[in-house]
Amino acid sequence: MGGVGKTQLAADYAHTAWGNGGLDVLVWVTATSRPSVVASYAQAGVELCGADPKDPDRAARAFLAWLTPKAGQTPCRWLIVLDDIADPGDLNATSEDPDSRHSLWPPASPHGRTLATTRRRDAALTRNARPPIKVGLFTPDEAATYLTTSLAAHSRNEPADYLATLARDLGRLPLALSQATAYIIDAAIPVDCVPCPHDEGECPSYRALLADRVTALVDLAPDVLPDEQGVALAAAWSLSIERADRLRPVGLARPMLQLAALLDANGIPQDVLTGEAARGHLAAHRIATSPCPAEEPALVSRQDTVRALRALDRLSLIAHTSDTPHKTVRVHQLIQRATRDTLTPDQRVHHARTAADALRAAWPETEHDSTLAQVLRANTDALTRHAEDALWYPDAHAVLFRAGESLGRSGQVADAVSHALYLAETARQRLGPDHPDALIARNNLAYWRGEAGDPAGAADAFADLLSDRTRILGWSHPHTLDTVVNLSHWQARAGHTRSAGLSFFAFYGVCLDKLGPEHPRTRSALSHLATWLDESGNLAGAADMFAELVEICLRTVGPDDLETLSARKNLARVRGEAGDTAGAVGAFAELLTDCLRTLGLGHPETFQARDGLARWRGKAGDAVGAADAFADLLADHTRIMGPDHPVTFSIRNNLAYWRGEAGDAVGAADALAELLTDCLRVLGAGHSFTLAVFGNLCSWHWAAGKGAEAIATCAAFFEDCRRALGPEHRHTLTARHDLDHYRGLAGAD
């Protein structure tokens, strides 16, 4: 790419070769166009061959012919440097253009060498030549050394950590480091923010200016460029962009780069840049190549979007590779910055919304691939940094909520809470407290607080939200009804079972009366009520309601619908809990067959069916079979959903339990100890699942004959519960009871 120092490397090579006395002729050619190459060759032809300066084309051909000595002629040792080849076609011979009938490539010769520098990656450049030398960025150490040495030459001694951070901000691009150093010295400003001696606050610094979206990159160039450089950083890639726009498919490179400039420099999935939203953007913003453009923009095919990426790659404006499938496109951060600086405010808003549309469309509803989900979240974060205002105008873009949901579903519950808090605060400030998106943000914040281990706080937040949604949206609005369900759920999780039951019964009664028994909302209310009855210990009532729900679903949505399969799963589970273990095994076996047929191996409902079948096989007396089934399930779920997925953790917990039940108490305790370490890392100490694993580990330590480990683990479990949930919470009381129990068994006070 432009700015890595190709010309400096070529110049150093040429100076060294000349200084060593190994050359008779050295010709430096600025190869940005065919006329420029011809002019340089012609000058050499005049000086070396006595050619006529009035006929540059003939003089150039005379020089190229002179490079191959005739018989009996003493050969000349030569080096020709073709610097910055903009288009390899400029040097090729063509029959169409009379001025281009002759090749301008120097001949292959044992007496001479041609060194070419270019931003192009065309295959034609490597034909009949040595493999290209790819010039990359400085390493972190090289960048830090360059900055330290350059600043020290002007008596500037900046802290090493400041310089390392500046090098990272500039992407370790040599041209950027050089011009930044010159600007810092000329403007007499610090590298990073330092306290002002006579003012409150901080002195302006280069890093602060670089991070300021209002300050354009062109404004950070020194008045006089260092090292005889001919172009400022912001303009370093303008010629490449113009060239890329002329490559087929013509006019698509620039709008593609403008879209990529708003996303993550470290990697963008190709599907984001080739989906429907991106294709519409390219069609609407295609660079006109004729004086009379068509009234309606032509549709852009997916193939042409890929070809646009290849055009940008050929000019080294992006890196387009298939080595990392989810990070197919990479763009240097300063190319992104220079590209964003060219956008008008309206373009920035429009392009950012388009990029957000593209991300949301590429985001699978069920995240089977945790790596892809992580990359999509990183791209959403980058888009928010580059154009946050656009994502809140005219309302909150859906990709903001999807990123938060993805965090939570991947097990990063604490981060999901932080993200939800940011959305709730930003929505309130930008959109107003009664805006629908502000209410959605509050809903998500309450939910993830509950998942993070604060069910009472979640219930209180949903109670406040229910009051506001009823006032703003009305009682019958779907969002209001959803809030009733969430309130009841978290009341039950917080131990307020009576309040939860009254809410569930009231909710179901309203739906049944207003919507009828077969309405989706009524079916959902019936499912929630049945679940509450199950959790309250009324297994017979829960089984009757789930059986009724299965019949309604079969009648309304059919046997293969996801809702029907989920209702069958709950019915099988409740019947097993009521004592019919054999019936539960049979029901889960039939359910698994249907899930595999309709949903496939990787669907969450299929995983849940396998989990249920394994669990009830164990409860029916086959602990070894249950452990083997959970081991197979763990391997598949880890492969498809990732090792840190919450369900993966649950499967590991179940596998450890059934290994213990099968007679391997030590193995169960060891597996749970490893699981606990991962839970603390991903979920945090206060998460309900982490606390459950603590309790299970205590039990299996004791069963394995490790009484001291059981007491120590249970004591830590109790302290974490008391700190995270309060002294009266049911987890805390259970932990205290277990600690006293184990101490009593051990004869301790």
Q: How do residues 371-428 score in pLDDT, each as one tens digit?
A: 888 899 999 999 999 999 999 999 999 999 999 999 888 778 888 999 999 999 999 9
CA atoms of 363 and 242, how far apart (whole Å): 32
Confidence of residue 737 (pLDDT cuts 50, 70, 90): confident
Mean of pLDDT values over 482-497: 84
Residues 6+ apart with CB under 8 A from 134: none
pLDDT at 653: 96
- What region, left, alpha or beta, does residue 298 occupy, with left being phi > 0 and alpha being psi -120 to 50 degrees? beta
Count CB atoms within 10 A of the CB of residue 263: 27
Mean of pLDDT values over 662-688: 87
Q: What is the pLDDT of residues 2-24, one digit of tens each?
A: 888 898 899 999 999 999 998 99
Residue 281's nearest CA partner among 333, 391, 357, 393 is: 357
- Most confident of the following: 41-55, 670-684, 728-742: 41-55
Statement: residue 287 has pLDDT above 80: no
Statement: residue 595 has pLDDT above 60: yes
Q: What is the pLDDT of residues 529-570, one digit of tens each?
A: 898 888 888 999 999 999 999 999 999 999 999 999 999 999
Residue with tokens 């964003």: 340
Statement: residue 104 has pLDDT above 80: yes
Query: Among 202-206, 369-373, 381-385, 706-710, which stretch is predicted with the lowest mean pLDDT?
Result: 202-206
CA atoms of 565 and 549, how far apart (whole Å): 11
Q: Give bridge partners of residue 82 from the DSSP assignment.
A: 29, 116
**Please, what is the average pLDDT of the chain?**
88
Q: pLDDT exceeding 90 applies to what percent of the chain? A: 52
Statement: residue 585 has pLDDT above 90: yes
pLDDT at 198: 43
pLDDT at 353: 97
Quote the strand ranges of 55-95, DSSP E.
78-85
Could you tell me the sign of the dihedral formed by the alpha carbons of 155, 160, 163, 167, in that order? positive
Higher-scoring residue by pLDDT: 71, 573: 573
pTM: 0.74
Mean of pLDDT values over 511-532: 87
Q: pLDDT exceeding 70 applies to what percent of the chain? A: 94
Q: Tell me how many degrees the CA angle 469-474-477 measures, rounded to the nearest 5.
A: 85
Statement: residue 196 has pLDDT above 50: no
pLDDT at 195: 47
pLDDT at 193: 66
Higher-scoring residue by pLDDT: 615, 741: 615
CA atoms of 583 and 119, how far apart (whole Å): 69
Query: Among 58-67, 454-463, 513-522, 624-633, which stretch is predicted with the lowest mean pLDDT?
Result: 513-522
Cβ density class 472-510: b for 16+ within 10 Å, e for less: bbeeeeeebbbbbbbbbbbbbbbbbeebbbebbeebbeb
Query: Among 49-53, 201-205, 435-439, which stretch is predicted with the lowest mean pLDDT?
Result: 201-205
pLDDT at 680: 83
Mean of pLDDT values over 123-141: 82
Strands of the 25-30 sheet, one edge to the other: 25-30, 78-85, 112-118
pLDDT at 200: 46
pLDDT at 253: 94
Among the residues of 293-412, which ranges form H helices? Answer: 302-314, 333-341, 345-362, 370-387, 398-409
User: What's the token pair of residue 589?
Assistant: 């076996």
Confidence of residue 646 (pLDDT cuts 50, 70, 90): confident
pLDDT at 191: 87
Cis peptide before 394 (omega within 30 of 0): yes
pLDDT at 201: 47
Statement: residue 291 has pLDDT above 50: no
Confidence of residue 127 (pLDDT cuts 50, 70, 90): low
CA atoms of 373 and 406, how far apart (whole Å): 7
Statement: residue 141 has pLDDT above 90: yes
Q: Give bridge partners of residue 195 from the DSSP assignment.
A: 202
Statement: residue 472 has pLDDT above 50: yes
User: What's the token pair of residue 427?
Assistant: 């929505």
Statement: residue 94 has pLDDT above 80: no
pLDDT at 99: 58
Statement: residue 740 has pLDDT above 70: yes
CA atoms of 141 and 397, how far apart (whole Å): 41
